[in-house]
Chains A and B, each alone.
Chain A
Amino acid sequence: MSSRATRENEAYTLEVDKGRLIVKAFGRWNLDTVKDIDSALTADLEKLGYGPGEADSEASFEQVVFDFEGLEGIDTAGAYVLTRALGCHDGYCRMWSLVNSKKGQRSLMSVAAEASQEMEAAPKVPWFAPIERLGHGTMRGLSEAYDTIVFFGQFSVVLVKMILQPHRIRWKSVVALIEEVGLDAMPIVVILSFFIGAVIAFMGSDLLEVLGFQVFVVDLVGVSVLREFAVLITAILLAGRSNSAFTAQIGSMKMRQEIDAMTVIGLDTNETLVAPRALACLVSAPILTFAAMMAGILGGLLVCWTQDISPVLFTARLTEVVDVKHFWVGMVKAPVYGLVVAIIGCRQGLAVGGSVESLGSRTTTSVVQAIFTVIFLDALFAMMFLEMGV
Chain B
Amino acid sequence: MARVDYNNLDLTAPVEARGLRTQFGTNVVHDNLHIRLNAGEILGVVGGSGSGKSVLLNTLLGLKEPDGGVIRVFGKERHSMSDEERRALDTRVGVLFQGGALFSSLSLRENVMVPMREHTDLPLKLMQELADMKINMVGLPMSAASLHPSDLSGGMKKRAGLARALALDPQMLFLDEPTAGLDPIGAHAFDELILELRDALNLTVFLVTHDLDTLFATSDRIAVLVDKHIAIADSPDNVVKYEHPWVREYFGGPRSRAASHGKSN
Q: Which residues of A are interface residues toward B (Cβ below 8 A)?
A: 30-32, 34-35, 38, 75-77, 80-81, 103-104, 107-108, 110-112, 114-116, 118-120, 122, 353-358
Instruction: Say whether A118 contacts B199, CB under 8 Å.
Output: no
Instruction: Say whether A34 contacts B129, CB under 8 Å.
Output: no
Instruction: Tell me whether chain B's interface is mostly helix, strand or loop, or mixed.
Output: helix
Bound: A127/B75 CA distance, A:
56
B: contact size bracket:
20 to 34
Give the residue of A107, A120, A122, A353 whose beta carbon is less than 8 angstroms from that of B200: A107
Bound: A103/B121 CA distance, A:
29
Give the residue of B128, B142, B150 whose beta carbon is less than 8 angstroms from that of A355: B150
Inter-chain residue pair count (beta carbon < 8 A): 78
Closest beta carbon of chain B to A358's beta carbon, Å: 8
Closest beta carbon of chain B to A368's beta carbon, Å: 20
Residues in B whose Cβ lies below 8 Å from that of A119:
129, 132-133, 136, 142
Query: Mask for B116-136, Cβ within 8 A of A = 1, else 0?
Result: 100011110010111011101
Closest partner residue, chain A, to B103 (CB atom): A356
Bound: A30/B120 CA distance, A:
11
Bound: A77/B196 CA distance, A:
17
Residues in B whose Cβ lies below 8 Å from that of A358:
150
Residues in A whose Cβ lies below 8 Å from that of B137:
76, 111, 115
Query: Mask for B161-197, Cβ within 8 A of A = 1, else 0?
Result: 0000010110000000000000000000000000010
Bound: A118/B142 CA distance, A:
7
Closest beta carbon of chain A to B131's beta carbon, Å: 11
Residues in A whose Cβ lies below 8 Å from that of B199:
104, 107
Identify 9 new A-B residue pairs, CB closer than 8 A, beyond the known A31-B120, A32-B1: A30-B169, A31-B1, A76-B130, A76-B133, A76-B166, A104-B199, A114-B136, A118-B142, A355-B148
Give the residue of A32, A35, A107 whose beta carbon is less than 8 angstroms from that of B3: A32
Closest partner residue, chain B, to A361 (CB atom): B105
Instruction: Say whether A80 contacts B1, CB under 8 Å.
Output: no
B81 sits at the interface (CB 8 A) = no
B104 sits at the interface (CB 8 A) = yes
Instruction: Say whether A35 contacts B201, CB under 8 Å.
Output: no
B202 sits at the interface (CB 8 A) = yes
Residues in A whose Cβ lies below 8 Å from that of B14:
none
- Chain B, range 29-85, C-beta contacts under 8 Å to A: none
Bound: A118/B202 CA distance, A:
24
Bound: A25/B150 CA distance, A:
42
Instruction: Say whether A35 contacts B104, CB under 8 Å.
Output: no
B100 sits at the interface (CB 8 A) = no
Instruction: Say whether A111 contacts B168, CB under 8 Å.
Output: no
Give the residue of B128, B134, B200 whose beta carbon is less than 8 angstroms from that of A104: B200
Closest beta carbon of chain A to B146's beta carbon, Å: 10
Closest beta carbon of chain B to A40's beta carbon, Å: 13
Residues in A whose Cβ lies below 8 Å from that of B196:
107
Closest beta carbon of chain A to B125's beta carbon, Å: 9
Bound: A38/B133 CA distance, A:
15
Closest beta carbon of chain A to B91's beta carbon, Å: 9
B155 sits at the interface (CB 8 A) = no
Give the residue of A81, A104, A120, A355 whose beta carbon is less than 8 angstroms from that of B202: A104
Instruction: Say whether A35 contacts B122, CB under 8 Å.
Output: yes
Q: For the complex of A and B, list the 9 residue pairs with the smallest distance between their C-beta atoms, beginning with the closest.
A: A354-B150, A75-B169, A115-B133, A115-B136, A355-B150, A107-B200, A355-B104, A357-B105, A356-B104
Bound: A345/B129 CA distance, A:
42
Closest beta carbon of chain A to B215's beta carbon, Å: 23
Instruction: Say whether A34 contacts B122, CB under 8 Å.
Output: yes
Bound: A356/B120 CA distance, A:
28
Instruction: Say whether B136 contacts A355, CB under 8 Å.
Output: no
Instruction: Say whether A35 contacts B105, CB under 8 Å.
Output: no
Give the residue of A81, A118, A120, A353 whose beta carbon is less than 8 angstroms from that of B150: A353
Give the residue of A34, A118, A122 whose beta carbon is less than 8 angstroms from that of B126: A34
Closest beta carbon of chain A to B260's beta carbon, Å: 27
Closest partner residue, chain B, to A77 (CB atom): B130
Residues in B whose Cβ lies below 8 Å from that of A103:
202
Instruction: Say whether A75 contacts B136, CB under 8 Å.
Output: no
Closest partner residue, chain A, to B134 (CB atom): A76
Closest partner residue, chain A, to B141 (CB atom): A118
Closest beta carbon of chain B to A11's beta carbon, Å: 15
Bound: A66/B16 CA distance, A:
37
Residues in A whose Cβ lies below 8 Å from that of B123:
35, 38
Q: List 11 A-B contacts (CB under 8 A).
A: A31-B116, A35-B120, A35-B122, A38-B126, A77-B169, A104-B201, A115-B136, A116-B133, A119-B142, A355-B105, A355-B148
Residues in B whose Cβ lies below 8 Å from that of A30:
169
Residues in B whose Cβ lies below 8 Å from that of A104:
199-202
Bound: A174/B81 CA distance, A:
56
Bound: A119/B202 CA distance, A:
24
Closest beta carbon of chain B to A265's beta carbon, Å: 24
Bound: A31/B134 CA distance, A:
13
Closest beta carbon of chain B to A257's beta carbon, Å: 13
Given A34-B126, A38-B126, A355-B148, A76 and B169 contact (CB-CB distance below 8 Å): yes
- Chain B, range 188-222, C-beta contacts under 8 Å to A: 196, 199-202
Give the residue of B105, B122, B132, B169 whose beta carbon is less than 8 angstroms from that of A115: B132
Bound: A114/B134 CA distance, A:
11
Bound: A37/B166 CA distance, A:
21
Closest beta carbon of chain B to A33's beta carbon, Å: 10
Bound: A114/B130 CA distance, A:
13
Query: Mask for B2-37, Cβ within 8 A of A = 1, else 0?
Result: 010000000000000000000000000000000000
Closest partner residue, chain A, to B121 (CB atom): A35
Given A31-B120, A104-B199, A108-B200, A118 and B136 contact (CB-CB distance below 8 Å): yes
Instruction: Say whether A112 contacts B133, CB under 8 Å.
Output: yes
Bound: A258/B225 CA distance, A:
35
Closest beta carbon of chain B to A187's beta carbon, Å: 35
Bound: A108/B201 CA distance, A:
7
Instruction: Say whether B201 contacts A76, CB under 8 Å.
Output: yes
Closest beta carbon of chain B to A387's beta carbon, Å: 48
